[in-house]
C-alpha cells in the first residue's frame, strides 16, 4: 500500500536548494555592495573633477574637458543602472539624443557642451554622484556583517583559548568568550548573524537600487519626449515598410501572375483563330493555357501566403509557428505555451519575424540544432530562437535582424541578440500584448 504522505527527501532537497540559492544571492549582493562602495568614492572624484571642469570653462579649457568628464560620469551611472536592474528596478537612460552632427572645430565643441549642459539628466547625474558618496558606503554593511560572522566562528573554533592563555578576554557582541560554553554561545550568535546576512544583503542592494532610480531614471517630461520620438520613428518605419511591401506585391503581380494572364489571353486568342483550321494545335494551346493557369494560381497563392499565411488565419499563431519549425530541415525542438491568441497584426509580425530568423539560421549559422520557445507571461509575448551555430550574428550585419527589430518596434516590441563568436546564438523577441 502506498502511503499518502509526501516523500520527505525531495522536500529536504528543495529546502537545501533554496538555501543555496539564497546564499548565492547574498554573496553576489555582498560583492556588488563592495563594488558600489568603491564606485561611490570614484564617483566623488568625478564630481570634484566635474566641478573643476565647469570652473575651467571660463578660460576655455573646460570645453575640451567637459565631454570627456561627462562620458566617464555617464559610464559610471550606466553601471549603477545596470546593477539596479539586477535587483528588479529597471532604469532607462534619461539623456536627450545628441543633435548630430556637432560639427568640427571650436563650434563643434561649443555645440557638444551646450547639449550636455542643457540636459537636466547631466545635473541629476552629478547630484547622484555627490549623494552616492555617502549612500554607496552603506552597501559595505553586508560585507562587514559577513566578516563579523567569520570572526565569531573563528573565535568559537578555539581562538579564544590563545587569548585567555595570554590573560585577555574577547567580547563577541554581548558575549564575553572565555570558556567552551561561551564559545558555543558565540558560535550560535554568529549563525544568527549569518541568517541575518542572508536576508539583509539583498535588501541593502534593493534599497540602493531604489535610491538610484530616484535620480537616474528619466523624468516624466523626458519619458514623454522619448515616447514621442519612439512613436515618430516607428511610424516612419511602418510607413516605409508598408510602401516597400506594396512595391513588392506590385512587382510580383506584374512579373508573375499578370504576365502569365496576358500570355494566357494571347494563347486563347490564337486557339480561337485556329479552332476550325487546326484542331490538334488548338488542343495543345488549350492544354498549355491550362498549365499556365495552374502556375498563375500557385503564384497567387504564394503571394497571398506572403501577405497573410493561411495557416496563421486558420490555426492560430501557436500552430503556425510549429509549422514553420517543422518545415525547417534542422533538428528542431519546439515549446509553445500560449493560452490564447494575440491580435492579428501582432501575430503576423511575430510569425514573419520567426520565419526570417529561421531563414537566417539556415543561411548564415551553419547550425545543426534549433530550439524555439514561445510563451506569454505578465502581458508580454516572448519568443526565443536558439541555435548551436557559429555565432557572430549582428543587427547591423545585413542579416535582416534590423528589419525584424523595426517591424517589432511598431508594436513596442524589442529584439535582443546574444551571439558570441563560435556560438551559440540566442535571439529574444518580446512584444507587449493581451491574448484573447
Count CA atoms within 13 Å of residue 93 on its CB side.
9
Comparing 145-159, 229-243, 276-290, 324-338, the range with the smallest average pLDDT is 229-243
User: What is the model's pLDDT at position 303?
Assistant: 59
Residue that the C-alpha cell 545543426 belongs to = 368
Q: Coil, strand or helix: which one is 349? A: helix
Mean pLDDT value of segment 28-44:
90
Residue 436 — pLDDT band, cuts 50, 70, 90? confident
Dihedral, CA atoms, 5, 10, 12, 16, nearest 10 degrees? -160
Q: Classify residue 4: in a domain, yes or no.
A: no
Residue 7 — pLDDT band, cuts 50, 70, 90? very low
* pLDDT at residue 149 greater than cutoff 50: yes
Cα gap 80→133, rounded to integer Å: 13
Q: Classify residue 3: in a domain, yes or no.
A: no
* pLDDT at residue 434 greater than cutoff 70: yes
User: What is the model's pLDDT at position 5?
Assistant: 38
Q: Classify residue 393: in a domain, yes or no.
A: yes
* pLDDT at residue 211 greater than cutoff 60: yes
- Measured CA to CA in angstroms, residue 122 lies from 46, 82, 117, 119, 276 at distances of 13, 18, 7, 6, 89
* pLDDT at residue 131 greater than cutoff 90: yes
Q: Is the peptide bond before 101 cis (omega within 30 degrees of 0)?
A: yes
pLDDT, averaged across the chain: 77
Cα gap 123→53, rounded to integer Å: 14
Contact 422, 391 (CB under 8 A): yes
Q: 37 with 152, same domain?
A: yes
Q: 241 with 284, same domain?
A: yes
Q: Classify residue 93: in a domain, yes or no.
A: yes
Residue 162 — pLDDT band, cuts 50, 70, 90? low
Helix-, strand-, coil-residue percentages of the chain, each rounded to 5: 70, 10, 20
Q: Classify residue 191: in a domain, yes or no.
A: yes
- Our count of domains for the chain comes to 3
Q: 159 with 14, same domain?
A: yes
Q: Classify residue 276: in a domain, yes or no.
A: yes
Query: Which H or E run includes 141?
Result: helix 141-154
Q: Which residue has better confidence, 71 or 378?
A: 71
Contact 187, 156 (CB under 8 A): yes
Q: Coil, strand or helix: which one is 416? A: strand
Q: Which of 208-217, 252-261, 275-284 has the highest mean pLDDT?
A: 208-217
Q: Classify residue 338: in a domain, yes or no.
A: yes
Cα gap 172→160, rounded to integer Å: 10
Q: 19 with 126, same domain?
A: yes
Q: 51 with 157, same domain?
A: yes
Q: Coil, strand or helix: which one is 413? A: coil
Comparing 217-226, 347-356, 373-382, the range with the smallest average pLDDT is 217-226
Residue where one domain finishes, among candidates 307, 325, 360: 307
Q: 172 with 297, same domain?
A: no
Q: 209 with 230, same domain?
A: no
Q: Which of 13-27, 73-87, 419-433 has the highest mean pLDDT?
A: 73-87
| The C-alpha cell that represents 19 in the structure block | 538555501
CA 2, distance to chain mean position in Å, is 48
Q: 202 with 278, same domain?
A: no
User: What is the model's pLDDT at position 126?
Assistant: 92
Q: Coil, strand or helix: which one is 291? A: helix
Q: Classify residue 382: in a domain, yes or no.
A: yes
Mean pLDDT value of segment 154-159:
70
Residue where one domain finishes, among candidates 218, 237, 272: 218
Parent domain of 164: 10-218
Cα gap 128→140, rounded to integer Å: 18
User: What is the model's pLDDT at position 25?
Assistant: 83
Q: 92 with 174, same domain?
A: yes
Q: 163 with 19, same domain?
A: yes
Looking up residue 334, the CATH number of its domain turns out to be: 3.30.565.10
Q: 188 with 229, same domain?
A: no
Q: 129 with 96, same domain?
A: yes
Residue that the C-alpha cell 519619458 belongs to = 223
In the chain, % of residues over pLDDT 90: 10
User: What is the model's pLDDT at position 299?
Assistant: 65
Residue 306 — pLDDT band, cuts 50, 70, 90? low
Residue where one domain finishes, among candidates 256, 289, 307: 307
Residue that the C-alpha cell 505578465 belongs to = 378
* pLDDT at residue 285 greater than cutoff 80: no
User: What is the model's pLDDT at position 75?
Assistant: 93
Q: Which residue has better confidence, 20 or 41?
A: 41
Amino acid at each position: 500500500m502506498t502511503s499518502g504522505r509526501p516523500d520527505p527527501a525531495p522536500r529536504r532537497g528543495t529546502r537545501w536548494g533554496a538555501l543555496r540559492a539564497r546564499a548565492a544571492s547574498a554573496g553576489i549582493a555582498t560583492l556588488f555592495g563592495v563594488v558600489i562602495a568603491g564606485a561611490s568614492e570614484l564617483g566623488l572624484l568625478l564630481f570634484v573633477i566635474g566641478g573643476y571642469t565647469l570652473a575651467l570653462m571660463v578660460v576655455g579649457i573646460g570645453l575640451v574637458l567637459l565631454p570627456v568628464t561627462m562620458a566617464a560620469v555617464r559610464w559610471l551611472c550606466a553601471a549603477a543602472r545596470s546593477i539596479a536592474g539586477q535587483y528588479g528596478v529597471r532604469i532607462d537612460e534619461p539623456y536627450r539624443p545628441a543633435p548630430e552632427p556637432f560639427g568640427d572645430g571650436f563650434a563643434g565643441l561649443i555645440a557638444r557642451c551646450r547639449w550636455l549642459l542643457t540636459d537636466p539628466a547631466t545635473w541629476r547625474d552629478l547630484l547622484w554622484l555627490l549623494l552616492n558618496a555617502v549612500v554607496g558606503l552603506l552597501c559595505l554593511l553586508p560585507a562587514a556583517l559577513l566578516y563579523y560572522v567569520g570572526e565569531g566562528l573563528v573565535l568559537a573554533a578555539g581562538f579564544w583559548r590563545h587569548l585567555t592563555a595570554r590573560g585577555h578576554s574577547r567580547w563577541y557582541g554581548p558575549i564575553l568568550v572565555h570558556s567552551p560554553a561561551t564559545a558555543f554561545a558565540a558560535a550560535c550568535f554568529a549563525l544568527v548573524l549569518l541568517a541575518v546576512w542572508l536576508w539583509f544583503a539583498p535588501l541593502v542592494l534593493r534599497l540602493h537600487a531604489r535610491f538610484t532610480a530616484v535620480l537616474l531614471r528619466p523624468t516624466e517630461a523626458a519619458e514623454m519626449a522619448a515616447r514621442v520620438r519612439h512613436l515618430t520613428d516607428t511610424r516612419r518605419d511602418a510607413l516605409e515598410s508598408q510602401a516597400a511591401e506594396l512595391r513588392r506585391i506590385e512587382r510580383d503581380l506584374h512579373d508573375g501572375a499578370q504576365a502569365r494572364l496576358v500570355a494566357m489571353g494571347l494563347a486563347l486568342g490564337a486557339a480561337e483563330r485556329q479552332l476550325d483550321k487546326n484542331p490538334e494545335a488548338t488542343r495543345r494551346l488549350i492544354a498549355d493555357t491550362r498549365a499556365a493557369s495552374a502556375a498563375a494560381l500557385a503564384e497567387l497563392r504564394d503571394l497571398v501566403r506572403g501577405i497573410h499565411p493561411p495557416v496563421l488565419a486558420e490555426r492560430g499563431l501557436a500552430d503556425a509557428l510549429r509549422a514553420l519549425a517543422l518545415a525547417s530541415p534542422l533538428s528542431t525542438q519546439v515549446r509553445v505555451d500560449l493560452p490564447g491568441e494575440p491580435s492579428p497584426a501582432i501575430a503576423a509580425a511575430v510569425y514573419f519575424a520567426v520565419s526570417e530568423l529561421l531563414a537566417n539560421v539556415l543561411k548564415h549559422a551553419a547550425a545543426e540544432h534549433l530550439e524555439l520557445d514561445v510563451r506569454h507571461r505578465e502581458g508580454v509575448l516572448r519568443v526565443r530562437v536558439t541555435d548551436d551555430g557559429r555565432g557572430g550574428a549582428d543587427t547591423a550585419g545585413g542579416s535582416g535582424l534590423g528589419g525584424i527589430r523595426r517591424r517589432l518596434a511598431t508594436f513596442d516590441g524589442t529584439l535582443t541578440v546574444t551571439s558570441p563568436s563560435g556560438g551559440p546564438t540566442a535571439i529574444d523577441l518580446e512584444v507587449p500584448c493581451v491574448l484573447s
